């Protein structure tokens, strides 16, 4: 039960820091850059869905704080505020858009267009969640807000999704649970995409955004990392197992990262989200 969550933590305990001495640390500088943005530190805000679970303002204060800290913010497709509002809350901050790719291409194009027009400067496609895993801790906590009308805000504010709702006779005002369920069916649709579809989404984002970075999230195997880089030509990968929330029994992310760095020593580009 939640063994990958445990493995993630254990991997961090196993990988210890080796302090170096007599280094002049009187002036410290943690700044770095990612995709052309100078940021305060080599960490960023991971995409986390449905922030309204813990704050009625959802993603807005998080995006605002990310800007204040000058750390990259990443909005999830499962966020609980419209893309445009999150972009405005983040202001001049560097921000990326995490896509759960629908099978409805017109909807994907609409989401990516809105993200680009709202100042999101990279597209990160999460691959590890074609449908929700059996999450023991979420089951124990009844953490399923989207079946109670929360977490569909990116869809409800989307013109293409609004068309789809109307076609099905779903009025989100009077039928919020049905609208939410339809959004979830689009986002965690239970039908996996495959490598063949990735050039389309990459090229679509590049065309919409004028060539901004394209990233795959959820990579855990050296072979997948290699394919993403060599065949697809991505601008980055996020080595991650979704905090152990998808395949329970999967390798710890930090161990996967070590394997991938070793397996791709000729080329490595990674960034960490905490």
Ligand X SMILES: Cc1cc2nc3c(=O)[nH]c(=O)nc-3n(C[C@H](O)[C@H](O)[C@H](O)COP(=O)(O)O)c2cc1C
The one segment of 31-39, 44-52, 166-174, 223-231 that binds ligand X by CB under 6 A: 44-52
Instruction: Please indicate whether residue 193 is annotated as part of the active site.
Output: no
Least CB distance from residue 51 to ligand X, whole Å?
A: 9
CA distance 239 to 255: 10
Token pair, residue 57, equals 């303002």
Least CB distance from residue 40 to ligand X, whole Å?
A: 18
Least CB distance from residue 237 to ligand X, whole Å?
A: 11
Strands 37-39 and 32-34: antiparallel
- Given candidates 7, 48, 71, 127, which one binds ligand X under the rule CB under 6 A? 48
**C-beta of 49 vs 172, nearer to ligand X:** 49
Check if the beta carbon of residue 66 is closer than 8 Å to that of residue 95: yes
CA distance 156 to 151: 10
Instruction: Give the DSSP letter string of 205-225.
Output: HHHHHTS--EEEEEE-SHHHH
- Given candidates 4, 7, 39, 49, which one binds ligand X under the rule CB under 6 A? 49
- Given candidates 90, 101, 113, 126, which one binds ligand X under the rule CB under 6 A? 126
Strands 214-219 and 236-239: parallel
- Given candidates 85, 133, 240, 255, which one binds ligand X under the rule CB under 6 A? 240
Check if the beta carbon of residue 2 is closer than 8 Å to that of residue 241: no
**C-beta of 149 vs 175, nearer to ligand X:** 149
CA distance 4 to 65: 30
**C-beta of 57 vs 272, nearer to ligand X:** 272
Least CB distance from residue 234 to ligand X, whole Å?
A: 15
Q: Which of residues 61-100 bind ligand X (CB under 6 A)?
A: 76, 78, 98
Q: How many residues does the chain have?
A: 274
**C-beta of 161 vs 273, nearer to ligand X:** 273
Active-site positions?
A: 242
């Amino acid at each position: 039960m939640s063994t990958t969550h445990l493995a993630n933590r254990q991997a961090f305990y196993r990988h210890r820091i080796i302090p170096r001495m007599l280094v002049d640390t009187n002036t410290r500088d943690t700044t770095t850059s990612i995709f052309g943005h100078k940021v305060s530190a080599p960490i960023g805000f991971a995409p986390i869905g449905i922030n309204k679970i813990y704050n009625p303002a959802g993603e807005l204060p998080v995006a605002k704080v990310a800007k204040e800290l000058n750390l990259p913010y990443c909005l999830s497709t499962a966020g609980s505020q419209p893309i445009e509002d999150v972009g405005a809350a983040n202001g001049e901050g560097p921000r990326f858009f995490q896509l759960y790719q629908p099978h409805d291409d017109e909807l994907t194009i609409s989401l990516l267009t809105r993200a680009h027009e709202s100042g999101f400067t990279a597209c990160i496609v999460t691959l590890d969640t074609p449908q929700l895993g059996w999450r023991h801790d979420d089951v124990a906590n009844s953490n399923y807000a989207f079946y109670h009308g929360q977490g569909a805000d990116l869809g409800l504010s989307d013109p293409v999704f609004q068309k789809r709702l109307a076609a099905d006779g779903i009025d989100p005002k009077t039928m919020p649970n049905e609208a939410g369920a339809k959004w979830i069916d689009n986002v965690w649709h239970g039908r996996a995409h495959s490598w063949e579809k990735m050039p389309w989404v990459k090229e679509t984002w590049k065309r919409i955004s004028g060539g901004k970075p394209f990233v795959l999230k959820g990579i855990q195997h050296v072979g997948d990392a290699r394919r993403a880089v060599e065949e697809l030509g991505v601008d980055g990968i996020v080595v991650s197992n979704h905090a152990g929330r998808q395949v329970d029994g999967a390798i710890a992310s930090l161990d996967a990262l070590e394997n991938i760095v070793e397996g791709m020593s000729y080329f490595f580009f990674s960034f960490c989200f905490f």
